[in-house]
Structure 1
Amino acid sequence: MLSGHESIRLETKRVSGKMVGKALETVCAFANTTGGWLVLGVEDPSKARGPQRLYGVEENQEAVDELIRKLGTHLLPAVDGTQIFRVPCTLRDGSQGSLVALHVPASDKVHSILDDGTWTRGQASNREMSASEITELSYRRGVRSAESEPVDVDFDLLVTDTWRLYLRGRGLAPTGIADQLYRIGLAKKVGGELRPLRAAVLLFADHPGALLAAGGTRADVRVFHYRGNMIANEEVPNLRKPPKTLSGPLYHLISQTHAHVLDELAGGLTLAASGFRTIHRYPERVIKEALTNAVIHRDYRLNREIEVRIFDNRIEVLSPGLFPGRITPATVHRAGSFARNPLIATNLREFPEPPNVDAGEGVRMMFSLMRAGNLYPPQYRELREQAQEAIIVTLLNEERPPVWEQVSDWIDRNGPIANGDLCRIANLDTLKASKQLRRWVEQGLLVADPNRGKRNMVYSKPTGDATNGRPDLLS
């Protein structure tokens, strides 16, 4: 810490009366970004070096007390999970004193300071957020959802067979649809007039994608079936057939997409290179859960369709938007349920044979069934660098070697793995271990450290996420 510079996840401050306001801005910014450490009693690195930076909190303990008190009264809402550590040390003048280190987790909410705005963290400083940035962050974290926004769609377009099926499922008599949607929270008043929410259009309209397209959003599913294991960047796409666009109310869209994907997989594939046929072995429930999650939990404000990509060796399901709340690719299998679109999720359960009966257990089921089938676990990634952000889940159609479970557990406990580690774990020679590591990289199960040379390369899981864990600052 003393030899480093302030960063997106680290800030140091000497304590003074003026420190309190700036420190609150840093806590707010950390919570609204990726979390971080605020260390009090340490001079700015531009003003001192090494141990000469250690002034201690004894300079102004009253200011530290005021900051700790205001963490609970001036941050709206309060940042849950903030930890405070007192660290004894030898100060710059040789006396004994202490620092105070605050660890601020990345939050699943959007935080502001009482009478002092909403802040985000840059590479080494804080910046007040604009109104549009606050709105964007609210959507990304699931604090706000496009499903709850009123849309300019005529109620008569929602009086469909799907609406009538829904009414029967709830035991309701068909009366005026506008009033009924209002009473169940799927319509709201705008300027004194009722308007259906986007969730109602998605649930009941025969063609919700077409109705919502005028507002710059999409709601359909596109299925692509490719030859081989890659998308060829050629003049003629390596598609086995033209892409299929599926649309309809979400209850039917999920079942239609599931049936279509299963039809595509049913006959197996003839591999051009060998003439052999390969059979897709994904458990049917896993495929349906991946598709159901994509439809229910996608971000419906984004102008992008759900994409299903079928390759010879895998299926990819791409869902617009990022993980809401504190869920990450590394924790999705144990994080439980966080519905970005609770209106959609709740009302789908009112249909006969609802697609989302696993309420919070679906992803765990996917991992369990893939493991029982001796297949690799589902691989989750966030695509943050695209024009429209998305989550992609990959299901590999390949038997998992017994050693993978040992390697996966080893990485979870020890961090990145090297060739020599795999040799010891699996009793392999160097060449076979190297080939296996390269194979796992090709499959997307591991990523090579770009900062290492070939001779001392280490590998980690792409789903590893250090930003939400507590960095080892105090060791």
Structure 2
Amino acid sequence: MDLNDHEVQQILLTEESHTADLKATEIAPAKLTRTMAAFCNAEGGEIFVGIGEDSTRQLRSWRGFGSIEEANGHVQAFESFFPFGQFVDYQFLRQLDDPDSGLVLKATFLRTPDVRKSSDGKIYVRRGAQNMPLTDLEAIRRLEYAKGVTSFETHPIDVPLDFVTNSDTVIGFMLEIVPTGEPLQFLKKQLLIRDEKPTVASVLLFADEPQAALPKQSAVKVYRYATSEPLGTRATLAGQPIAIGGPAYDVIREAVRTTVDLVQGIRVLTPNGLEDITYPEVTLHEIITNAVLHRDYSIADDIHVRVFDNRVEVESPGGLPAHLTPENILEQRFGRNGHLTRWISRFPDPPNKDVGEGLRTAFDAMKGLKLKPPEIIDKRTSVLVVIRHQRLASPEEMIIEYLQSQPEISNSVVRRLAGIGSENTVKRIFQRMIRAGELEPIPGRPLRDAAYRLPTQLTTKADEPEHPTLL
């Protein structure tokens, strides 16, 4: 690929970071696999091979390979590390204005669903601009949990067997699903008992009170904040947080019901005045279900559902597993907790269908109400889903629609209408609309009371009658 001077300078000025690294052609291919493994075990990243650096003057230069054949050693290292086309893309870059400066090899790596080792047999993760080796077994296990290679749901819990084999939940399940079976034999056969102990999955599914064995990993907490601000505070917390416990099947249903109840009665400002807030219940159901089934149960934290005046936030412990990202999560599928997902789908009227369509259903339901789709944020240690009560219409369209029935509009009203938190963002919208002739400021107002209206229609001669009536 030929690059112009601007594109070349962008590469030379790239800051080495959590997702970018630049290397000279002299780097040994084996050493390069450390960076490759580190990227794959973290968030992915890009390596540019063929960038020289004068450390004394802190200057970089384009010093690429003389030909593609000269890069064979590096390409072969990539190919042995990754079969062609899997989680990596290679490109050769050349300066359009200086082709004699050589070819820079650019390799783009995606986060892999498995843990990758470098050619020295060690596991590295990317932290800032460094490749950090993992030697501690617990750190490696945490990485495996984070990537979904192994799941904490298979971990045995030190509680008596009858904690799950003699519960009302498992007896009711057996009578409905396997009426001739016995809980102990059934759970052993399904690998829900290991080393004569219940696994995390069996406790979550079949214990009447999983919270007794997993006090910080099995509940959902629901909060109501009477504010539209970015963060909820103790001052805006309405009532006490509601802790929802019990087996996973009951937790999902009760968490959805509680969230729906809290949402009811909230009123939002629309161009037609105050209206009751409306979220598709299926959206709340699917996102809360997804949080319970796919969270990382090795992290000692609850799922948090926060109901604000203009949005609902669902935050579940653990980042997105394997190769999933907020961008591909609707197209890709990966289950962190296979036992939990599989067996909860066998309950009567299950909360999930175990076909990987839950999030898409949630997005489609929001679209059906002409609301903006949920926002998925991977915070690495948790996944936050924000469900905003925000119409698909642009802020400009909302402003014009509001002024069709109201004489004026202010910054605070627009923020409530459009769900915008920043006063300066709304100021910039007003400025654009004024320049376009769509709005005008109401004259004579002090700055703190500034408001805007549709442009007044000036009477022109063309509007006047040709023969005015004489009095």
Fold equivalence (TM over 0.5): yes
Which of 158, 178, 181 aligns to 1:171? It is: 178
The separation in 2 between residues aligned to 1:179 and 1:222, in whole angstroms, is 34
1:212 Cα deviation after fit = 1.8
Question: TM-score, with normalisation over the residues of structure 1?
Answer: 0.73
Alignment CA distance shift 1:375-1:238 (3 Å): same
1:116-195 mapped onto 2 (5 Å cutoff):
116-131=121-136, 132-158=138-164, 159-171=166-178, 173-175=180-182, 177-189=183-195, 194-195=196-197
The separation in 2 between residues aligned to 1:219 and 1:65, in whole angstroms, is 52
1:203 Cα deviation after fit = 0.2
Question: What's the counterpart of residue 397 of structure 1?
Answer: 389
In structure 2, give the amino acid aligned to 1:70: A
Question: What's the counterpart of residue 462 of structure 1?
Answer: none
Alignment CA distance shift 1:219-1:96 (3 Å): closer
The separation in 2 between residues aligned to 1:111 and 1:42, in whole angstroms, is 26
The separation in 2 between residues aligned to 1:130 and 1:264, in whole angstroms, is 47
Which of 18, 28, 44 aligns to 1:35? It is: 44
1:359 Cα deviation after fit = 2.2
2:301 is the counterpart of 1:304: yes
Which of 107, 115, 118 aligns to 1:113? It is: 118
Question: What's the counterpart of residue 225 of structure 1?
Answer: 224
Question: What's the counterpart of residue 410 of structure 1?
Answer: none
Q: Is the 8 A contact 2:395 2:414 kept in 1?
A: no
Partner-residue secondary structure (3-state), 2:32: helix
Number of residues paired by the alignment?
A: 405
Residues 128-180 of structure 1, C-alpha deviation per residue, up to 9 Å, x if partnerless? 223333222222222222111111121101122221232244335232x3432
Bigger radius of gyration: 2
The separation in 1 between residues aligned to 2:142 and 2:418, in whole angstroms, is 34
The separation in 1 between residues aligned to 2:289 and 2:256, in whole angstroms, is 9
The RMSD of aligned alpha carbons is 3.9
1:312 Cα deviation after fit = 2.8
The separation in 1 between residues aligned to 2:152 and 2:73, in whole angstroms, is 39
Alignment CA distance shift 1:330-1:404 (3 Å): farther
1:79 Cα deviation after fit = 8.8
Q: Is the 8 A contact 2:52 2:60 kept in 1?
A: no
Partner-residue secondary structure (3-state), 1:345: helix
1:206-355 mapped onto 2 (5 Å cutoff):
206-213=208-215, 217-230=216-229, 233=233, 237-266=235-264, 268-269=265-266, 278-332=275-329, 334-355=330-351
In structure 2, give the amino acid aligned to 1:69: Q
1:460-475 mapped onto 2 (5 Å cutoff):
none
In structure 2, give the amino acid aligned to 1:160: S
The separation in 2 between residues aligned to 1:381 and 1:324, in whole angstroms, is 13
The separation in 2 between residues aligned to 1:241 and 1:52, in whole angstroms, is 61
In structure 1, give the amino acid aligned to 2:306: R
In structure 2, give the amino acid aligned to 1:211: A
Question: What's the counterpart of residue 416 of structure 1?
Answer: none
Which of 359, 364, 386 aligns to 1:363? It is: 359
In structure 2, give the amino acid aligned to 1:209: Q
Alignment CA distance shift 1:405-1:179 (3 Å): farther
Alignment CA distance shift 1:160-1:309 (3 Å): same
Identity of aligned residues (%): 27
Q: Is the 8 A contact 1:14 1:43 kept in 2?
A: yes
1:207 Cα deviation after fit = 0.6
Q: Is the 8 A contact 1:317 1:392 kept in 2?
A: yes
Q: Is the 8 A contact 1:41 1:57 kept in 2?
A: no
Tell me, which stretches of 5 or more residues in structure 2 are unaligned?
Answer: 1-10, 401-407, 426-430, 433-471
In structure 1, give the amino acid aligned to 2:21: E
The separation in 1 between residues aligned to 2:366 and 2:397, in whole angstroms, is 16
Partner-residue secondary structure (3-state), 1:359: coil
**Deviating runs (4+, > 6 A) in structure 1?**
47-51, 404-407, 431-441, 444-448
In structure 2, give the amino acid aligned to 1:344: L
